[in-house]
Amino acid sequence: MSLNSAGPIDSALMDDLVAASRILADHGVLDAWGHVSIRHPGDANRYLLSRARAPALVTADDIVEFDLDSNPIDQRDRRVFLERFIHGEVYRARPDVNAVVHSHSPAVIPFSVTQVPLRPIAHIAAFLVDGVPVFDIRDAGIERGMLVVNSAQGKALAGTLGDKPVALLRGHGNVVVGPDVRRAVLRAIYTEVNARQLATALTFDSPITYIAADEAQEAVRLDDAWEVWKRDAMKE
Amino acid sequence: MSLNSAGPIDSALMDDLVAASRILADHGVLDAWGHVSIRHPGDANRYLLSRARAPALVTADDIVEFDLDSNPIDQRDRRVFLERFIHGEVYRARPDVNAVVHSHSPAVIPFSVTQVPLRPIAHIAAFLVDGVPVFDIRDAGIERGMLVVNSAQGKALAGTLGDKPVALLRGHGNVVVGPDVRRAVLRAIYTEVNARQLATALTFDSPITYIAADEAQEAVRLDDAWEVWKRDAMKE
Amino acid sequence: MSLNSAGPIDSALMDDLVAASRILADHGVLDAWGHVSIRHPGDANRYLLSRARAPALVTADDIVEFDLDSNPIDQRDRRVFLERFIHGEVYRARPDVNAVVHSHSPAVIPFSVTQVPLRPIAHIAAFLVDGVPVFDIRDAGIERGMLVVNSAQGKALAGTLGDKPVALLRGHGNVVVGPDVRRAVLRAIYTEVNARQLATALTFDSPITYIAADEAQEAVRLDDAWEVWKRDAMKE
Amino acid sequence: MSLNSAGPIDSALMDDLVAASRILADHGVLDAWGHVSIRHPGDANRYLLSRARAPALVTADDIVEFDLDSNPIDQRDRRVFLERFIHGEVYRARPDVNAVVHSHSPAVIPFSVTQVPLRPIAHIAAFLVDGVPVFDIRDAGIERGMLVVNSAQGKALAGTLGDKPVALLRGHGNVVVGPDVRRAVLRAIYTEVNARQLATALTFDSPITYIAADEAQEAVRLDDAWEVWKRDAMKE
């Protein structure tokens, strides 16, 4: 561990971070390139993210510590994600956020490239009730295709996200945040599920009743869901 | 076992209740939060439902006995489902019902939030022939988001269900009932399958021939289906 | 073996019949209730079909011999399928047919209940080029819901099928035939695949180029496909 | 090895070729009949393709060497693919190409039979930015249904492909090429994924923002994706 490290984290939290990566891959939310991070519980200016590695393969040994400028504290020979700036800038802008997911969640893509807003129709996706902003990398300047590869682009994305739990990235995917990693995982999964369901409802050509503000409440307990998701995801 | 218990049930029936939970999870009808119950065969005023636990993980040891007010008879330290009132009030209102499923069946959500009625187009879903009412929690008063968390809400839902086998819960899922747990499972699975098929047929912009009353008959035998569903679901 | 039996069949053919059942279940063409049969190679007036049993569970011991009136030759205590008349009457009407599949193939249902014809857009489904007739049980008289449960209904269905390889059963599924069991399995799988693809193409609101008569040719070799399908299906 | 062979290839490259076949089958891009080849690294006028065999079953022992006229160098008793001419003629026409996939990629079929162009809406499919031409076998003369079974048809297809990475074959599938086999596999997978996503976006009846030329860049690293894809595909 580097002298500059904010120190080791609790093994249960590390287990959750690793499981988060595997669970999101198992649910098809993360493909071979997405990533999930947590804010360091001992230092709000640090976050933990795997080295560049397919999410389904991540283990505790792959986790690297970063500062909010997204510099690795102890990189050694480990390759890091080009898009780590998404994490750093969201943590900087959002003190309430302790976990960040960046995914290519397949069902959100159609909502990211059209004028049709992604809104919640299923209660487990009620966290989307205040709207899902869409970030267009073009507005932040193209640097490397559609990728968010520097702090300025990361800041622009964090600005689009504002105080919301989810923002879409046009033609790319989304960023999903939460107060803890389990909540961020739940949100990432049900953003995908709700997108599929809404796409079907939109073909009905009938008025849609969306979840209303007073109906929105993250009521579901996560302990049991986490247990079964983790069991399924950790099977090889 | 509590002194107040209506007594143990036959192990074959207990096996069916556990398998029901696993089968519905295996078919994607139950996610990490749905539940399935049976009426106690020895006391019509009692029902059996797992403690709050992901359906894919339920075992016989997780089953708790409840009265029709949805009080657990012998809770000990076991957490119970907030939405158990769905079960209690349906059993109270429907003497013909011996099994109840509450699910977030993904394909029914679009039908629950639009004016498009869920009607049967496939003969195994012929049990839907008399219509599928939609319950809106708002009409029963919002207490905890979209959840059914007290007897009044449960009674209102049972009232919407009426004498039907299935009711949708707007933006939430459904409740499916049957004369026995195998029949309730069949109905829950084919409500989902028929919803998917109807959603596709609706995109064709062509008149649809629904199953007619004189064509509706629950003719399929369940023994063989149960055997293969159970085999698949009990594999880890 | 009964004195009246047309005799045992080659074990390789029996293996193919059992594999056919498993393969069609593995591909989601057969649910817990469909069935596949072959004509007896030693007696054109006999066919072989499993006892009433979920297709994914069928073994050689489950195979029963029937005459073309669909009477079992040696039933013993074995329950037989109510809808065996589909097989008997198709074999009677179609000397060129040596294998019959009856399925609830999920993607064909929308085509069976609307006026949209199922036509081939993918070359492996080119066998559909002469059209897919739709049988309506109502025209044959309702006896037991939508089921084909007697010779008269079976004859009516065979009449609708005519000289085609596939007919749909309105609100029910399909019947698929072939010169041998491997060809019937191929056709059943690609009827389902083509139905899914055509449903998507229909949403494009653009003229569709269907496979033309001179493009239709069952060119694909089946040996390799059969080997991999069987390997996948026989895994438990 | 034949005296005429261009010689053995590096075992790591052979591993990649075998894995490519398995990975594309595992992702549902290749069904029981598609194929993937590489140009011989030691002789630009030779390519390596499995004998006729379901892609999910291919091993190193199945690989056969061909010249650009698609004659096998050492066929022995091995059956070869009828459509090998696709590979030979693409290698002849495209010196930049070192890997070719021919698939029945299911989601591209609707785009191949309508006037709706397949264009990229997701950044991983940005390689499609210059358009996806559609080849119609009818324009090259029908020889054996829709199949490409001789050099003239192969040349016509290569002509339609031009300098693009992907061409569709009307009512048949596609051909996907790349500078190496991993890149060709990535392109084949994300052509399929993007086709699914675009089909959904098209139902929204809203203007679609496609990936623009200056946004297109094959930025994703493949090492990690390959590792996880191969792990999943090589599991039996």
Tell whether the model's pLDDT for residue C131 goes beyond 90: yes
CB count in 10 Å sphere of residue B223: 12
Q: In the predicted model, what is the mean pLDDT of chain A?
A: 96
**What is residue D219's predicted lDDT score, i.e. its pLDDT?**
58
**What is residue B180's predicted lDDT score, i.e. its pLDDT?**
97
Is A113 within 8 Å of D231 when comparing Cβ atoms? no
Confidence at C219, pLDDT banded by 50, 70, 90: low
User: For chain D, what percent of residues have pLDDT higher than 90?
Assistant: 92
Confidence at B218, pLDDT banded by 50, 70, 90: low
Give long-range contacts, CB 8 A cutoff, 24+ apart: A151-155: A151/A69, A151/A70, A151/A85, A151/A88, A151/A89, A153/A85, A154/A70, A154/A85, A154/A86, A154/A88, A154/A89, A154/A90, A155/A89, A155/A92, A155/A93
**What is residue A2's predicted lDDT score, i.e. its pLDDT?**
75
Taking alpha carbons only, the member of A74, A25, A20, A26 closest to residue A51 is A74
How remote is the C-alpha of C167 from its chain's centroid?
9
For residue A205, give every residue at least 6 positions away whose Cβ sits within 8 Å of its Cβ, in sequence order, or none.
none
Note the pLDDT tens digit of each residue in B173-197: 999 999 999 999 999 999 999 999 9
Taking alpha carbons only, the member of D177, D135, D180 closest to residue D155 is D135
**What is residue B3's predicted lDDT score, i.e. its pLDDT?**
73
Residues of B labelled catalytic: 83
CB A6 within 8 A of CB A42: yes
Pick A110's closest partner by Cβ from D126, D197, D224: D197
**What is residue B235's predicted lDDT score, i.e. its pLDDT?**
87
- C-alpha–C-alpha distance, residues A104 and A171, integer Å: 9
Amino acid at B58: V
- C-alpha–C-alpha distance, residues C95 and C68, integer Å: 12
DSSP symbol at D144: B
Confidence at C218, pLDDT banded by 50, 70, 90: low
CB B134 within 8 A of CB B170: yes
**Chain B within 8 Å of C33 (Cβ-Cβ)?**
yes
Taking alpha carbons only, the member of C54, C88, C58 closest to residue C71 is C88
Tell whether the model's pLDDT for residue C90 goes beyond 70: yes
**What is residue D218's predicted lDDT score, i.e. its pLDDT?**
64
**What is residue A3's predicted lDDT score, i.e. its pLDDT?**
73
Order of strands across the sheet that contains B35-39: B63-67, B46-50, B35-39, B99-103, B173-178, B166-169, B134-135
Cα angle B49, B50, B54; round to 5: 130
Interface test with A, best of B26, B83, B114, B143 (most A CBs within 10 A): B114
Taking CB atoms and an 8 Å cut-off, how many pairs form between chains B and C? Answer: 96
> D30 to chain C nearest CA, in Å?
12
Pick B147's closest partner by Cβ from A210, A219, A235: A219
**Chain B within 8 Å of C222 (Cβ-Cβ)?**
no
Q: Which chains touch B (3 or more CB pairs under 8 A)?
A: A, C
Confidence at D1, pLDDT banded by 50, 70, 90: low
CB D151 within 8 A of CB D143: no
Q: pLDDT higher for A110 or A216?
A: A110
Full-prediction pTM beyond 0.90? Answer: yes
**Chain C within 8 Å of D52 (Cβ-Cβ)?**
yes
- C-alpha–C-alpha distance, residues C90 and C198, integer Å: 27
Two tokens, residue C186 = 């191929």
Note the pLDDT tens digit of each residue in A73-117: 999 999 999 999 999 999 999 999 999 999 999 999 999 999 999
Phi, psi angle pair for A166, to nearest 5°: -140, 135
Order of strands across the sheet that contains A99-103: A63-67, A46-50, A35-39, A99-103, A173-178, A166-169, A134-135
User: For chain A, what percent of residues have pLDDT higher than 90?
Assistant: 92
**Chain D within 8 Å of C210 (Cβ-Cβ)?**
yes
Note the pLDDT tens digit of each residue in C40-87: 999 999 999 999 999 999 999 999 999 999 999 999 999 999 999 999
What's the mean pLDDT in A209-226?
87
Note the pLDDT tens digit of each residue in D66-87: 999 999 999 999 999 999 999 9
Phi, psi angle pair for B147, to nearest 5°: -80, 150
**Chain D within 8 Å of C236 (Cβ-Cβ)?**
no
Concerning whether C83 is annotated as a catalytic residue, the answer is yes
- C-alpha–C-alpha distance, residues B125 and C146, integer Å: 11
**Chain C within 8 Å of B215 (Cβ-Cβ)?**
yes
Q: H or E stretch including A177? A: strand A173-178
Taking alpha carbons only, the member of C12, C34, C203, C236 closest to residue C116 is C203
> Computed from CA positions of residues A50, A51, A52, A56, in that sequence, does the dihedral angle turn out positive or negative?
negative
Tell whether the model's pLDDT for residue C220 goes beyond 80: no
Residues of chain B contacting C208 with CB distance shorter than 8 Å: none
What's the mean pLDDT in A134-150?
94
**What is residue C3's predicted lDDT score, i.e. its pLDDT?**
73
End-to-end CA distance of chain C: 30
Residues of chain C contacting D54 with CB distance shorter than 8 Å: 224-225, 227-228
- C-alpha–C-alpha distance, residues B19 and B115, integer Å: 35
**What is residue C229's predicted lDDT score, i.e. its pLDDT?**
97
Confidence at B29, pLDDT banded by 50, 70, 90: very high
Is C123 within 8 Å of D53 when comparing Cβ atoms? no
Is C115 within 8 Å of B214 when comparing Cβ atoms? no
Rg of chain A's alpha carbons, rounded to an integer? 17
**What is residue B221's predicted lDDT score, i.e. its pLDDT?**
80
Note the pLDDT tens digit of each residue in B102-134: 999 999 999 999 999 999 999 999 999 999 999
